[in-house]
Amino acid sequence: MRKIHVIGLAFAAVFAFSMVSASGASALSLWDECMEINLLTELGLFNDNNCLTLGGTENWEWLEIKAKTAVDSLLVDLILKSGPVGILCEGFTDGTVGPGNENEVILILNSLEEEVTELAPVTCTLLEGGLFCTGAVEASPVNLPWLTLLEGSNDLLESGGTGNPGWLVVCLGNNSINECTRADALLTVENLTDELEVDLGFKPLEKATCTNLLATEGSVEGTVSILLTSGTGALQAM
Protein backbone atom coordinates (compact mmCIF):
# COMPACT_ATOMS: atom_id res chain seq x y z
CA MET A 1 0.00 0.00 0.00
CA ARG A 2 1.40 3.37 -1.00
CA LYS A 3 2.55 5.78 1.67
CA ILE A 4 -0.14 8.46 1.42
CA HIS A 5 1.62 11.40 3.06
CA VAL A 6 -0.80 14.10 1.93
CA ILE A 7 1.42 16.82 0.61
CA GLY A 8 0.32 19.08 -2.19
CA LEU A 9 2.71 19.25 -5.10
CA ALA A 10 1.76 21.87 -7.66
CA PHE A 11 2.22 20.29 -11.06
CA ALA A 12 1.49 23.23 -13.36
CA ALA A 13 1.18 21.58 -16.71
CA VAL A 14 0.66 24.06 -19.44
CA PHE A 15 0.58 20.92 -21.47
CA ALA A 16 4.29 21.24 -21.33
CA PHE A 17 6.63 18.91 -19.73
CA SER A 18 9.36 20.37 -17.62
CA MET A 19 10.45 18.28 -14.73
CA VAL A 20 12.98 18.76 -12.01
CA SER A 21 16.24 20.83 -11.68
CA ALA A 22 18.77 19.92 -9.04
CA SER A 23 19.56 22.30 -6.22
CA GLY A 24 23.14 22.06 -5.14
CA ALA A 25 26.42 23.01 -6.68
CA SER A 26 27.91 19.55 -7.03
CA ALA A 27 27.32 17.37 -10.08
CA LEU A 28 24.73 14.63 -9.63
CA SER A 29 25.48 11.20 -11.04
CA LEU A 30 24.06 8.50 -8.72
CA TRP A 31 21.01 7.51 -6.71
CA ASP A 32 21.95 6.48 -3.16
CA GLU A 33 20.05 4.65 -0.43
CA CYS A 34 20.81 4.61 3.28
CA MET A 35 21.78 0.95 3.78
CA GLU A 36 22.97 -1.29 6.61
CA ILE A 37 26.58 -2.36 6.13
CA ASN A 38 28.86 -5.18 7.25
CA LEU A 39 31.13 -3.61 9.86
CA LEU A 40 33.76 -6.26 9.20
CA THR A 41 34.30 -5.13 5.63
CA GLU A 42 32.87 -1.60 5.33
CA LEU A 43 33.01 1.71 7.16
CA GLY A 44 29.84 3.54 8.16
CA LEU A 45 29.07 6.91 9.75
CA PHE A 46 25.46 6.65 10.89
CA ASN A 47 23.45 5.02 13.65
CA ASP A 48 20.04 4.81 11.94
CA ASN A 49 18.45 3.62 8.68
CA ASN A 50 17.78 7.19 7.59
CA CYS A 51 21.45 8.19 7.86
CA LEU A 52 20.60 11.14 10.10
CA THR A 53 22.43 10.33 13.36
CA LEU A 54 26.23 10.17 13.39
CA GLY A 55 28.13 7.85 15.71
CA GLY A 56 26.73 5.01 17.78
CA THR A 57 26.96 1.65 16.03
CA GLU A 58 27.95 3.36 12.75
CA ASN A 59 26.46 0.46 10.79
CA TRP A 60 24.48 2.56 8.26
CA GLU A 61 25.86 4.46 5.26
CA TRP A 62 24.83 6.03 1.96
CA LEU A 63 25.51 3.48 -0.79
CA GLU A 64 24.94 3.54 -4.53
CA ILE A 65 21.72 1.92 -5.78
CA LYS A 66 23.03 -0.64 -8.29
CA ALA A 67 19.75 -2.17 -9.52
CA LYS A 68 16.31 -0.81 -10.37
CA THR A 69 14.62 -0.02 -7.05
CA ALA A 70 10.93 0.83 -6.67
CA VAL A 71 9.91 4.36 -5.72
CA ASP A 72 6.56 6.10 -5.47
CA SER A 73 5.49 9.65 -4.76
CA LEU A 74 3.60 11.64 -2.20
CA LEU A 75 0.21 12.92 -3.34
CA VAL A 76 0.74 15.29 -6.27
CA ASP A 77 -1.51 18.19 -7.29
CA LEU A 78 -0.96 18.87 -10.99
CA ILE A 79 -1.77 22.21 -12.57
CA LEU A 80 -1.67 21.77 -16.34
CA LYS A 81 -1.74 24.93 -18.44
CA SER A 82 -1.83 25.59 -22.15
CA GLY A 83 -2.51 29.03 -23.58
CA PRO A 84 -5.40 30.51 -21.54
CA VAL A 85 -6.41 27.13 -20.07
CA GLY A 86 -5.24 25.86 -16.69
CA ILE A 87 -6.44 22.71 -14.95
CA LEU A 88 -5.75 21.06 -11.58
CA CYS A 89 -5.25 17.28 -11.42
CA GLU A 90 -4.35 15.03 -8.49
CA GLY A 91 -2.54 11.71 -8.26
CA PHE A 92 0.65 9.72 -7.70
CA THR A 93 3.61 8.41 -9.69
CA ASP A 94 5.12 4.91 -9.59
CA GLY A 95 8.57 4.09 -10.94
CA THR A 96 12.15 3.13 -10.19
CA VAL A 97 15.54 4.68 -9.45
CA GLY A 98 18.89 3.17 -10.39
CA PRO A 99 21.13 1.77 -11.51
CA GLY A 100 23.49 4.72 -11.65
CA ASN A 101 21.81 7.99 -12.61
CA GLU A 102 18.55 6.54 -14.00
CA ASN A 103 15.01 7.27 -12.78
CA GLU A 104 11.97 5.87 -14.60
CA VAL A 105 8.32 6.94 -14.31
CA ILE A 106 6.31 3.82 -15.14
CA LEU A 107 2.75 4.67 -14.06
CA ILE A 108 0.60 7.67 -13.24
CA LEU A 109 -2.16 6.89 -10.73
CA ASN A 110 -5.22 8.89 -9.69
CA SER A 111 -5.92 9.82 -6.07
CA LEU A 112 -7.57 6.40 -5.56
CA GLU A 113 -4.32 4.77 -6.77
CA GLU A 114 -5.89 3.53 -10.02
CA GLU A 115 -3.80 3.59 -13.21
CA VAL A 116 -4.39 6.64 -15.44
CA THR A 117 -4.44 6.00 -19.21
CA GLU A 118 -6.04 7.60 -22.28
CA LEU A 119 -8.96 5.17 -21.87
CA ALA A 120 -9.12 5.79 -18.11
CA PRO A 121 -8.10 9.45 -17.68
CA VAL A 122 -8.04 11.42 -14.46
CA THR A 123 -10.82 13.99 -14.01
CA CYS A 124 -9.40 17.44 -13.30
CA THR A 125 -10.69 20.84 -12.17
CA LEU A 126 -10.76 23.78 -14.59
CA LEU A 127 -8.94 26.75 -13.01
CA GLU A 128 -8.96 29.22 -15.89
CA GLY A 129 -9.84 29.51 -19.56
CA GLY A 130 -13.55 28.64 -19.35
CA LEU A 131 -14.23 30.30 -22.72
CA PHE A 132 -11.85 27.84 -24.39
CA CYS A 133 -12.53 24.70 -22.33
CA THR A 134 -16.07 23.73 -21.29
CA GLY A 135 -17.62 20.78 -19.53
CA ALA A 136 -15.67 18.11 -17.66
CA VAL A 137 -11.92 18.09 -18.29
CA GLU A 138 -9.72 15.00 -18.32
CA ALA A 139 -5.97 14.34 -18.59
CA SER A 140 -3.74 11.35 -19.22
CA PRO A 141 0.02 10.81 -19.60
CA VAL A 142 1.52 10.37 -23.07
CA ASN A 143 4.30 7.94 -24.04
CA LEU A 144 5.00 6.24 -20.72
CA PRO A 145 7.42 5.12 -19.43
CA TRP A 146 9.39 8.36 -19.00
CA LEU A 147 13.13 8.25 -18.29
CA THR A 148 15.08 10.85 -16.31
CA LEU A 149 18.86 10.99 -15.88
CA LEU A 150 20.75 12.82 -13.14
CA GLU A 151 23.05 15.17 -15.03
CA GLY A 152 25.02 18.10 -13.66
CA SER A 153 22.76 19.74 -11.08
CA ASN A 154 19.53 18.61 -12.77
CA ASP A 155 17.40 15.62 -13.65
CA LEU A 156 17.02 15.38 -17.45
CA LEU A 157 13.62 14.12 -18.61
CA GLU A 158 13.79 11.99 -21.75
CA SER A 159 11.79 9.47 -23.72
CA GLY A 160 11.67 5.99 -22.27
CA GLY A 161 11.56 4.64 -25.83
CA THR A 162 7.95 5.25 -26.86
CA GLY A 163 8.11 8.98 -27.68
CA ASN A 164 8.50 12.34 -25.98
CA PRO A 165 6.94 12.64 -22.48
CA GLY A 166 3.81 14.74 -22.10
CA TRP A 167 0.10 15.03 -21.36
CA LEU A 168 -3.15 14.72 -23.29
CA VAL A 169 -5.94 17.03 -22.07
CA VAL A 170 -9.55 16.81 -23.27
CA CYS A 171 -12.33 19.34 -22.58
CA LEU A 172 -15.47 17.25 -23.04
CA GLY A 173 -17.95 20.13 -23.36
CA ASN A 174 -16.50 21.64 -26.53
CA ASN A 175 -14.37 18.62 -27.53
CA SER A 176 -11.16 20.62 -27.24
CA ILE A 177 -8.13 18.32 -27.35
CA ASN A 178 -4.50 19.22 -26.76
CA GLU A 179 -1.44 16.99 -26.51
CA CYS A 180 1.76 18.62 -25.32
CA THR A 181 5.13 16.82 -25.30
CA ARG A 182 8.78 17.67 -24.84
CA ALA A 183 12.13 15.89 -24.86
CA ASP A 184 15.16 16.89 -22.80
CA ALA A 185 13.36 18.96 -20.14
CA LEU A 186 15.42 19.82 -17.07
CA LEU A 187 14.09 19.22 -13.55
CA THR A 188 15.46 20.62 -10.30
CA VAL A 189 16.63 18.13 -7.65
CA GLU A 190 16.49 18.69 -3.90
CA ASN A 191 17.43 16.10 -1.26
CA LEU A 192 15.13 16.31 1.78
CA THR A 193 16.96 13.81 3.94
CA ASP A 194 14.91 14.57 7.06
CA GLU A 195 11.79 13.62 5.09
CA LEU A 196 13.47 10.55 3.46
CA GLU A 197 12.58 11.91 0.01
CA VAL A 198 13.93 13.64 -3.08
CA ASP A 199 11.96 16.51 -4.61
CA LEU A 200 11.97 16.87 -8.40
CA GLY A 201 10.72 20.24 -9.60
CA PHE A 202 9.40 21.42 -12.96
CA LYS A 203 10.85 24.54 -14.58
CA PRO A 204 8.05 26.67 -16.12
CA LEU A 205 10.38 28.13 -18.76
CA GLU A 206 10.86 24.66 -20.23
CA LYS A 207 8.18 24.76 -22.94
CA ALA A 208 6.42 21.82 -24.54
CA THR A 209 5.09 21.62 -28.09
CA CYS A 210 1.32 21.21 -28.32
CA THR A 211 -0.97 19.99 -31.11
CA ASN A 212 -3.85 22.47 -30.67
CA LEU A 213 -3.40 25.43 -33.03
CA LEU A 214 -5.00 27.77 -30.46
CA ALA A 215 -2.46 26.80 -27.80
CA THR A 216 0.79 25.59 -29.35
CA GLU A 217 2.97 25.87 -26.22
CA GLY A 218 2.67 24.41 -22.77
CA SER A 219 4.67 24.10 -19.56
CA VAL A 220 4.67 22.28 -16.23
CA GLU A 221 5.37 23.77 -12.81
CA GLY A 222 5.50 22.13 -9.41
CA THR A 223 7.21 19.35 -7.50
CA VAL A 224 7.10 15.57 -7.35
CA SER A 225 8.39 14.09 -4.08
CA ILE A 226 9.66 10.52 -4.49
CA LEU A 227 10.43 7.96 -1.76
CA LEU A 228 11.56 4.37 -1.64
CA THR A 229 8.48 2.15 -1.85
CA SER A 230 9.96 -0.26 0.68
CA GLY A 231 9.97 2.45 3.33
CA THR A 232 13.11 0.96 4.92
CA GLY A 233 15.55 3.77 4.29
CA ALA A 234 16.19 7.22 2.95
CA LEU A 235 16.81 8.16 -0.69
CA GLN A 236 19.05 10.85 -2.13
CA ALA A 237 20.65 11.99 -5.38
CA MET A 238 24.44 12.28 -5.19
In this predicted model, what pLDDT tens digit does every residue of 51-102 receive, in sequence order? 888 887 788 889 999 999 999 999 998 888 898 999 999 999 999 999 999 9
pLDDT at 53: 87
- Kindly indicate the confidence band of residue 49, based on its pLDDT and cuts at 50, 70 and 90: confident
CA atoms within 13 A on the CB side of 161: 4
- Kindly indicate the confidence band of residue 231, based on its pLDDT and cuts at 50, 70 and 90: low
Strands (E), the chain: 10-13, 31-36, 60-64, 69-73, 76-82, 85-97, 102-110, 122-128, 137-142, 146-151, 154-159, 166-171, 176-181, 185-192, 197-202, 208-212, 215-228, 235-237
Q: Does some domain include residue 154?
A: yes
Cis peptide, bond prior to residue 165, ω within 30 of zero: no
Q: How far is CA 238 from the centre of its chain?
A: 17
pLDDT at 91: 95
Q: Is-contact 167 205, C-beta < 8 A?
A: no
Q: To the nearest whole percent, how much of the chain has pLDDT over 90?
A: 58
Structural domain including 220 reads 10-38+61-237
Q: Does some domain include residue 46?
A: no
Q: How far apart are CA 146 and CA 17, in angstroms?
A: 11
Q: Does some domain include residue 176?
A: yes
Q: Does some domain include residue 112?
A: yes
Listed in sequence order, the DSSP H helices in the chain are: none
Q: Does some domain include residue 56?
A: no
Say what the pTM is. Answer: 0.84
Integer CA distances (angstroms), 87 to 158, 171, 187, 223, 224, in order: 24, 10, 21, 16, 17
Q: Does some domain include residue 51?
A: no
Q: Does some domain include residue 30?
A: yes
Q: Does some domain include residue 94?
A: yes
Q: Is-contact 116 78, C-beta < 8 A?
A: no
Q: Is-contact 92 2, C-beta < 8 A?
A: yes
Domain count, the chain: 1
